[in-house]
């Protein structure tokens, strides 16, 4: 099987690339190497390819550059599976540099779609979208407990019938790309699937303040653990809002099985969309994550400072993942507790 992965040196892409290399697929990766950790992930993938004796090709380039995209399809195509996880993923960057956000997410996706249509029309294209296409969800009714916000009117979570509301440049760019992917199936008959992801975490995620919150707070908890061990005063970190914001978190191992299930069920995927997350059993607020991290690292409590809530931040998003289970036979297997524990161990292995 021949697999093209955009953003293949990022967090999601590198994990997916490693999986397909382990299956001895021919893997081609496009990545601009813009984000923290991408060069490290590239080296890791080269080692994986060598250990599995698999075919691995890397092209450094920007998917917003159509000539780069077309050259990859002409040289390496046709592909069986196009995994489009490359993009601009930080809300803060979309606000500070909306032009870059739009070109990467909208123009880049358009370039990939057209290349698939012209050069790999029989491929399955899987697109990594986001729950941010639903906006800030301020119109929903919330209940507040001591540790989290709840959505009492949605006992199974939020499904794909939730109205779209493209707020913030990031929501607009990802939502526009999301709709292009769906429409290229309707208009041109391509096999496409859109995954509207919640929060994903796991190894190979070099988290930062503006992207990868589970990994970021794992790092901060380890820093505070080291302070406690040396009898120093831990430096508080900052959070936006009350800490009661909730997401259903998904470990990257479960994301790999999701994309594999999609390819196995290609005949069912003609513009389908799925809300994807860990579901209710794997939902966490910031405060609940901090409590879990305190237990894992055996420290009394994490010290933080609250700053004003970020504009357009969702108070609670838990995906209704029943559609993915019904059509793809997929469900998460890694509990949030086990996943966070694994993430702490991986973060400890880094030098920081």
Query: Which residues are designated catalytic?
Result: 170
Q: Is 325 helix (H, G, I), strand (E, B) or coil?
A: helix
How far apart are alpha carbons 156 and 153 in whole angstroms?
9
* CA–CA separation, 198 and 292 (whole Å): 20
Q: Return the structure tokens found at 77.
A: 């195509």
End-to-end alpha-carbon separation of the chain, Å? 38
Distance, CA of 11 to CA of 257 (rounded, Å): 15
Q: Cβ distance 189 to 182 under 8 Å?
A: no
Look at residues 157, 149, 36, 30 and name the one whose alpha carbon lies nearest to residue 90: 36
Q: How far is 93 from 100, CA to CA, in rounded Å?
A: 8
Token duo for residue 32 = 């601009």
Q: Report DSSP letters for 96-165, one per residue.
A: H-HHHHHIIIIIHHHHHHHHHHHH-TTSEEEEEEEGGGGTT-TTS--EE-SS-EE-TT-TT-B-TTSPP-
Locate 229 and state its tokens: 């061990």
């Amino acid at each position: 099987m021949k697999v093209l992965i955009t953003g293949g040196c990022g967090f999601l892409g590198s994990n997916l690339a490693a999986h397909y290399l382990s299956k001895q697929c021919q893997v081609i990766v496009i990545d601009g190497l813009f984000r923290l950790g991408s060069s490290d992930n590239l080296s890791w993938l080269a080692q994986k390819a060598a250990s599995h004796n698999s075919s691995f090709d890397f092209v450094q380039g920007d998917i917003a550059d159509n000539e780069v995209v077309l050259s990859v399809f002409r040289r390496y195509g046709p592909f069986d599976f196009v995994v489009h996880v490359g993009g601009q993923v930080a809300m803060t960057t979309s606000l500070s540099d909306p032009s870059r956000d739009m070109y990467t997410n909208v123009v880049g996706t358009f370039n990939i779609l057209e290349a698939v249509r012209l050069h790999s029309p029989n491929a399955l294209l899987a697109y990594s979208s986001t729950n941010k296409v639903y906006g800030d969800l301020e119109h929903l009714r919330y209940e507040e407990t001591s540790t989290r916000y709840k959505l009492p009117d949605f006992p199974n979570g939020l499904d794909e019938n939730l109205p779209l509301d493209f707020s913030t440049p990031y929501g607009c760019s990802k939502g526009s790309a999301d709709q292009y992917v769906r429409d290229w199936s309707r208009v041109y008959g391509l096999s496409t699937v859109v995954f509207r992801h919640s929060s994903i975490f796991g190894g190979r995620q070099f988290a930062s303040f503006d992207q990868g919150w589970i990994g970021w707070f794992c790092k901060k908890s380890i820093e505070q653990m080291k302070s406690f061990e040396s009898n120093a005063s831990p430096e508080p970190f900052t959070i936006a809002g009350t800490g009661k914001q909730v997401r259903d978190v998904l470990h990257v191992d479960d994301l790999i099985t999701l994309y594999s299930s999609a390819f196995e069920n290609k005949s069912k995927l003609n513009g389908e969309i799925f809300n994807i997350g860990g579901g209710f059993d794997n939902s966490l607020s910031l405060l609940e994550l901090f409590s879990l991290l305190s237990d894992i690292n055996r420290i009394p409590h994490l010290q933080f400072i609250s700053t004003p809530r970020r504009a357009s931040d969702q108070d609670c998003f838990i995906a209704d993942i029943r559609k993915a289970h019904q059509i793809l036979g997929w469900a998460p297997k890694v509990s949030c507790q086990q996943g966070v524990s694994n993430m702490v161990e991986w973060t400890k292995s880094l030098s920081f």
